[in-house]
A and B are shown apart, each in its own frame.
Chain A
Amino acid sequence: MKYLITTICLCFLLLSCKKEFEGTRPDSKINQLKEEYSDQLIKSKEGWIGILYPKGGGSYTFKFSFDNKNRVKTYATIDKEKTIKSDESSYRLVADQIVSLYFDTYSYLHQLADPDERKNGGLRGGGKISDFEFSFIQNSKDTIKLRGNHNESELILIRAKEGEGDNYISKTFAQAMKIDELNQLSNYYNSIQINKKDYGFILNTEINCITFYYDDKGNYKSFTTEYAVIADGIVLRKPFEANGVRISTFSDFQINKTTNQISVQYNGQVKAQIKNVSKPISIDKEAPRRMYMIDKMHTSSTGFTISGVKDAIGLTKIQGFNMFLFIPRRYIDPLDAFYLIHSEDFHYGPIFNTIYNDEGVLFFKPFQLLSGIPPGTAYEQLFIDQNKLWFDPAGFNVFQTGKDCFDFVSRKDSKIWIRFK
């Protein structure tokens, strides 16, 4: 019996030795993939349009031109200067666990990932939670989908067509400015009819998020997604299913700020009218509670918008202006604060109790009308004017416009609103 088992084992040993490795070796596969990807990047004559969705939110459009000397020329919609002036840096393809594209010296792309919060307005030590080393996830002739190795941001590269040359990003930036005019109409509320159904919609151009909301048997329903700005409109990151119609793009924005007449095309073919109205289609009754309970300081860069005019009170013109900050539970009790941050980190503004009810009405009960270090006596009246809006007893409706981002809209007058992110 013992002999039999040993003999069988030896036979197995013999058999196992016979199998030789056949097929392509991993090294060869990786080298081949690196070459293929590299060729694909370099051989696009007009370069690549890059849409970046950082993990930290928002979206940015880039234009990349890769050459065969590991150099990449970049334009970006981060700010106006970067749309006109290109930046040259280096890139390389690296065989990590998945073949990766490293943008390996600093360029516009890295500004978003910079841990120095002064470089991008993000978090200290984290920036905008973005990436600059990406794994190839999906690849077709004209589209490459990549995922950030560090923070899992998403980068989509789309082969640029003829006519989408170096000025593509400045066209895209102009388009973004044009779209922002939707936030400069006299009323806060916009509605669009899709397949005979009315939807309210909010375009948060600060974080590139679009929200659709509607009434579903007396309940508020909404859909929010990020969007990317391209030269002739916007592309939704996730398509919106509206009454049987799947919407993935909006283009051909026609906005007349004087007459409040707006039209737009969705999916590149269907024309729709946008109405700027004084009443919302539905109210999110849970939004004030959600907004208040998040452990976050809500920031605003523009303050109150009145009749389409951003910072209508004029507080952002104060020398050393940094931002507005709404801080729930600033003090125990709980007392909340709405500060203007100026001269690096001095603050000035009211302290109050935040109150919200089951009807979704948010309002503030003053405790101390102004506290902190004033930026100058000349501005005192501006703060008093702002307090009149903030402490309006009619209160605000609250709309969520993105992850942890909220707009407060006056219930008395839909022309008055403030956007927090």
Chain B
Amino acid sequence: MKFYILTVVTLCFIIINGCSKEKLPTDPIVDLGGDRWAPSPLDNFIKEQFIKTYNIEIKYKWSPFEVNYNRTLVPAQESKVIPVLRAVRDIWMKPYEKVGGKNFLKLFSITKFVLVGSAEYNNNGTIVLGTAEGGTKVALYLVNDFELKEKPTVVQMLHTIHHEFAHILHQNIHYPQAWRGISTQWYTQTWINTDKKTANSQGFVSSYAKSAESEDFVETISFLLVEGQKAYDDLIKENMEMEKTFRLKERIVHQYYKDAFNIDFKSLQKEVQTALLTLTKTETK
């Protein structure tokens, strides 16, 4: 009994004394709240246009742990950041806001855009142009080759953005069951062995659409929005034997936008096309 009393007393002594003498360090924790640097006009643009308005962080400065550390990548060129962000704002965000309502984008928790200068090179010879993670973070690659004056680079970048955002949409509300089974027989890991023409003849808008069911879904959305309805119709004309598949996919996309987000896809498509034309035309002049 004596022993137990002694043990309890000693333990109490340790606990009470251990707590009383603690002093918290006064040194600031390194980089608490993120890296800091003297803000430049570019930082102010981001603050006004993206942080205050949408609470979206734009990481354009190199941060190795935001990207694939095993690959060779380079940071974005400062002069390319505003043109890319203007395209993001005008050709992706504004059309969605116009058609889906001012608060539409705020319904989704996109918190971060990471801009990377180069593409990410895979060992199999393909390159990565964009990634979406956990429905919150989007990484855009090849920023340094972006040129507002050159429509193909704008189309490529916007295709990536709409592709990644479509991922975020279906990561929030899954695409319809009806999508399953349309092209299941063609999905393959070795999609890189299929050229675009063959992929089209199998009912896909691109070779990459063959990589997985979800990729097929977002590639179709991205194609319809960025390349436009005419390009989609032309694609069908060239591949008449797959007309039924293409039209079915188009219908499901329309229905998905209507049912899940109350968005008229046709109007969205028009808005994206108009914005694309306006932005590239203004810059070309």
Contacts and interface: CB of A to CB of B under 8 A. Distances in A.
A4 to B, nearest CB: 11
Interface in A66-91: 68-71, 89-90
B35 A94 contact: yes
Nearest to B29: A27
Interface stretch (A121-129, A181-189, A254-262, A287-295): A121-129
A232 interface: no
A333 to B, nearest CB: 28
Contact of A6 (B3, B61, B63, B73): B3
B79 to A, nearest CB: 9
Contact of A110 (B25, B74, B121, B123): B74
A105 B121 contact: no
B64 A150 contact: yes
A7 to B, nearest CB: 8
A124 B3 contact: no
B82 to A, nearest CB: 13
A359 to B, nearest CB: 42
Contact of A27 (B21, B27, B60, B74): B27
B77 A106 contact: yes
Interface in A2-36: 3, 6-7, 10, 13-14, 17, 20, 25, 27-28, 30-31, 34
B37 A10 contact: no
A393 B6 CA distance: 100
A145 interface: no
B121 to A, nearest CB: 3
B30 A31 contact: yes
Contact of B10 (A10, A70, A126): A10
Contact of A31 (B17, B27, B35, B62): B27
B37 A110 contact: no
20 contacts: A3-B3, A10-B7, A25-B25, A27-B29, A34-B30, A69-B40, A70-B37, A103-B62, A104-B61, A105-B77, A106-B144, A113-B72, A115-B72, A115-B73, A115-B118, A115-B120, A115-B121, A124-B121, A126-B121, A132-B75
A25 B13 CA distance: 28
Interface in B25-83: 25, 27-31, 35, 37-38, 40, 60-64, 69, 71-78
Contacts of A364: none
A102 interface: yes
A133 interface: yes
A73 to B, nearest CB: 13
Given A3-B3, A17-B17, A68-B38, A104 B75 contact: yes
Nearest to B79: A106
A201 to B, nearest CB: 34
Interface residues of A, number: 43
Query: Chain B's interface: helix, strand, loop or mixed, by majority?
Result: loop
A226 interface: no
A92 B25 contact: no
A208 B75 CA distance: 27
A44 interface: no
Contacts of B25: 25, 27-28
A114 interface: yes
Contact of B78 (A95, A106, A127, A149): A106
B129 interface: no
A111 to B, nearest CB: 8
Contacts of B63: 104
A164 interface: no
Contacts of B71: 115, 125
A31 B3 CA distance: 50
